[in-house]
Amino acid sequence: MSKVFMFKRNEFEVAETMIQSEAKNNPAFLELSDVSIEFQTKKGPFKALDNVNLKIGNGEFISIIGHSGCGKSTVLNIVAGLHKATTGGVILNNKEVDEPGPDRAVVFQNHSLLPWLTCYQNVELAVKAIFKKRMNKAEMKSWIEHNLSLVHMDHAMHKYPAEVSGGMKQRVGIARALAMQPTVLLMDEPFGALDALTRAHLQDSVMEIQAELKNTVIMITHDVDEAVLLSDKIVMMTNGPAATIGEILAIDLERPRDRIRLANDKRYNEYRTEVLKFLYERQHRPSEH
């Protein structure tokens, strides 16, 4: 399977180098151009996002950070094809995004597993939907098991969601998304509901998996340490309404990254301070609504 995946990526990379002169330095594998969105509400139209522009390279790990309610999930949902931008749009791999697709798997905060299926069967459902014509039964089985083992869930894969912890459910959600072999992995505060220790374990797993698979990842977080530890770039959003991208911070820390070693790293702490200053000095916390 990974051979097929590699081939697709290489084929794309060749095409892109030919098409875009700037491709070498900043291939806009995924591009949001002039994205704005207006929701119709009882009180009238509400402009949540305005003029969002973002270029993401193939294999980049991007975090989106910003205060609650600023529009992070809305950006992710537009990339997922779940919301349609009022103006502007999204191009992925030279194709306009206008509906949800298996090339963009979403991991939600609340793991959204079907409770009447085992962990294995939850992953199987997604795999069957996508690979039914391309894999036989044995291939599907080993592909499902492989993805569950990536998130260290192979030992509990035949348990039901109610029989495993929140962290384990979240692992299954990630395995299910990875098993779809998405071009882009979209994660909306995937570790937000977990305790600190479980969160750290899962962050490490996601970093390991991404190092191996080289997926393009967009992750929403409001955890500054998580953003710095995991990302190649942190996209910092201004407060809404009409939220947009305030600043983009490139995180130039070599990988693999070790949280304990980085805790005393000067650059790590500078990045951290930079994000904190953006959030708490340059952007006022909006009133709850």
Nearest CA-CA partner of 15 in 72, 86, 94, 76: 94
Minimum separation from the CB atom of position 73 to Mg ion (A): 3
Contact 187, 220 (CB under 8 A): yes
Minimum separation from the CB atom of position 189 to Mg ion (A): 6
Nearer to ligand ADP, 124 or 188 (CB): 188
Nearest CA-CA partner of 269 in 228, 238, 240, 231: 228
The binder of ligand ADP chosen from 27, 35, 50, 74 (CB under 6 A): 74
240 binds, among Mg ion, ligand ADP, none (CB under 5 to 8 A by kind): ligand ADP
Bridge partner list, 234: 63, 249
Minimum separation from the CB atom of position 178 to Mg ion (A): 22
Distance of CA 288 to the CA centre of its chain: 26
Nearer to Mg ion, 10 or 68 (CB): 68
The binder of ligand ADP chosen from 32, 54, 60, 71 (CB under 6 A): 71
CA atoms within 13 A on the CB side of 287: 1
Footprint (CB under 6 A) of ligand ADP, residues 213-242: 240
284 binds ligand ADP (CB under 6 A): no
- What distances in angstroms separate CA 20 from CA 12, 184, 210, 232, one per listed residue? 12, 20, 26, 22
The DSSP result for 48-68, as a single string, is: EEEEEEEEE-TT-EEEEE--T
287 binds ligand ADP (CB under 6 A): no
The binder of ligand ADP chosen from 56, 70, 150, 245 (CB under 6 A): 70
Nearer to ligand ADP, 47 or 201 (CB): 47
Contact 134, 150 (CB under 8 A): no
48 binds ligand ADP (CB under 6 A): yes
81 binds ligand ADP (CB under 6 A): no
- The site map against ligand ADP for 87-126 (x = CB under 6 A) is ----------------------------------------
Cα(136)–Cα(128) distance, integer angstroms = 10
41 binds ligand ADP (CB under 6 A): yes
Contact partners, residue 25, CB within 8 Å, separation at least 6 = none
Contact partners, residue 14, CB within 8 Å, separation at least 6 = none
Stretch touching ligand ADP by CB under 6 A, among 10-18, 20-28, 69-77, 159-167: 69-77
Q: Which residues bind ligand ADP (CB under 6 A)?
A: 39, 41, 46, 48, 66, 68-74, 240
